[in-house]
């Protein structure tokens, strides 16, 4: 009997040790990630208001006009988005990617809710359910996210990035990307969305790991430990530039070819999944967690994916009408008035390119198209 009590006490102690609450760095990263989602989500609404105001007195952005560049309200939205991107960059310096990346879905929710309140754009009851699912999933991940690894030099991050497991992952990603770019995209890129999104997501997983390394270097530098003297810092910076430029190019191609309502959820699922996988391999996030925490995190992630899918699937539905009647609407024609969709999120290339940013907050390369809407 005494032995059984001792064993139970040991299990309880182990469980309590495995979950010590959120560290101060995780809390800082969480606050920055939430701030980023708020700023980015609100920026879509502010920019849309600016676009509408500019379109009333000039050529609309949806038909190729640039009168919005003279509208102060649009610039306020643009500055708000930049602030959100800076906050997102800083979040990776403090918290693990498995905590920060899934919270990007909250910007879509904030944009949808603000559009419903400010722009009087109808949010279907299933859209509200999708928002609730995203919130529940986000809370689940936040409560069970792993502690951030204690790192005192950018060279430690470089050692993690050059371990055999992550080198194999990086080499595999590069090989797949090269095959997709030079073999599959020229033949099937215009008809199969997964090839463009695959390149963006695979390269994006490497860019987030590099952003995290660069962010840690800058955080340590600002705290008094200069990391700019190490070549590893500049190597991370170069990888970030190359990866982001590649993402800009192929995400822009995807948005130019396919509807954003299709691109956005697929890109979110693939990008977030691959980023979590890369983080688990490089930073060994799951080594510091119990199986229960890992399973709970995955359940939270699946909940967010379900909410994101439901929100996008029902965004054009009207209460009282079956989905089949709602799908007869052509979003590209109806939303060209201002270049934005119901949640204030760009629906096509022209809307995304006017400010240089995509829905996920990733800059888009400016590209002219001869396609007719």
Q: Is residue 216 part of a domain?
A: yes
Q: Is residue 358 part of a domain?
A: no
- In this prediction, residue 67 carries a pLDDT of 78
- In this prediction, residue 21 carries a pLDDT of 62
- In this prediction, residue 168 carries a pLDDT of 97
- In this prediction, residue 355 carries a pLDDT of 47
- In this prediction, residue 258 carries a pLDDT of 80
Q: Is residue 360 part of a domain?
A: no
pLDDT in tens, 145-179: 888 778 889 999 999 999 999 999 999 999 999 99
Q: Is residue 373 part of a domain?
A: no
| Domain count of the fold of the chain | 1
SS3 of the chain? CHHHHHHHHHHHHHHHHHCCCCCHHHHHHHHHHHHHHHHHHHHHHHHHHHHHHHHCCCCCHHHCCCHHHHCHHHHHHHHHHHHHHHHHHHHHHHCCHHHHHHHHHHHHHHHHHHHHHCCCCCCCHHHHHHHHHHHHHHHHHHHHCCCCCCCCCHHHHHHHHCCHHHHHHHHHHHHHHHHHHHHHHHHHCCCCHHHHHHHHHHHHHHHHHHHHHHHHHHHHHHCCCCCCCCHHHHHHHHHHHHHHHHHHHHHHHHHHHCCHHHHHHHHHHHHHHHHHHHHHHHHCHHHHCCHHHHHHHHHHHHHHHHHHHHHHHCCCCCCCCCHHHHCCCCHHHHHHHCCECCCCCECCHHHHHCCCECCCCCECCCCCCCCCC
- Positions of the chain with pLDDT under 70: 1-21, 59-65, 260-261, 315-373
> What residues make up the domain containing 65?
22-353
- Whole-model pTM? 0.70
Q: Is residue 6 part of a domain?
A: no
Q: Is residue 4 part of a domain?
A: no
Q: Is residue 367 part of a domain?
A: no
Q: Is residue 285 part of a domain?
A: yes
């Amino acid at each position: 009997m005494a032995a059984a009590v001792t064993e139970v006490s040991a299990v309880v102690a182990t469980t309590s040790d495995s979950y010590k609450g959120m560290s101060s760095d995780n809390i800082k990263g969480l606050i920055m990630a939430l701030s980023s989602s708020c700023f980015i989500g609100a920026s879509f609404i502010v920019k849309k208001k600016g676009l509408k105001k500019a379109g009333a007195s000039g050529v609309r952005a949806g038909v190729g006009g640039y009168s919005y560049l003279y509208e102060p309200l649009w610039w306020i939205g643009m500055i708000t988005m930049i602030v959100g991107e800076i906050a997102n960059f800083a979040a990776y310096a403090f918290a693990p990617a498995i905590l920060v990346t899934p919270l990007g879905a909250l910007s879509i929710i904030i944009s949808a809710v603000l559009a419903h309140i400010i722009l009087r754009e109808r949010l279907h009851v299933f859209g509200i359910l999708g928002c609730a699912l995203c919130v529940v999933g986000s809370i689940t991940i936040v409560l069970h996210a792993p502690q951030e690894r204690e790192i005192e030099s950018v060279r430690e991050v470089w050692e993690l990035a050059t371990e055999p497991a992550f080198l194999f992952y990086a080499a595999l990603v590069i090989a797949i990307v090269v095959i997709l770019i030079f073999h599959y995209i020229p033949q099937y890129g215009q008809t199969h969305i997964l090839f463009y999104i695959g390149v963006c997501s695979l390269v994006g997983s490497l860019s987030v790991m590099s952003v995290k390394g660069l962010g840690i270097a800058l955080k340590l530098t600002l705290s008094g430990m200069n990391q700019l003297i190490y070549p590893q810092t500049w190597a991370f910076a170069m990888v970030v530039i190359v990866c982001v430029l590649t993402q800009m190019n192929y995400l822009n191609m995807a948005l130019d070819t396919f509807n954003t309502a299709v691109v956005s959820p697929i890109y979110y699922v693939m990008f977030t999944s691959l980023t979590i996988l890369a983080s688990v391999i490089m930073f060994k996030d799951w080594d510091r967690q119990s199986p229960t925490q890992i399973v709970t995190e995955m359940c939270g992630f699946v909940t967010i994916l379900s909410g994101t899918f439901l929100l996008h699937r029902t965004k054009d539905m009207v209460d009282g009408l079956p989905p089949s009647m709602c799908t007869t609407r052509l979003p590209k024609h109806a939303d060209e008035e201002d270049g934005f969709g119901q949640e204030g999120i760009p629906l096509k290339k022209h809307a995304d390119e006017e400010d240089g940013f995509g829905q996920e907050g990733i800059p888009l390369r400016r590209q002219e198209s001869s396609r007719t809407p």
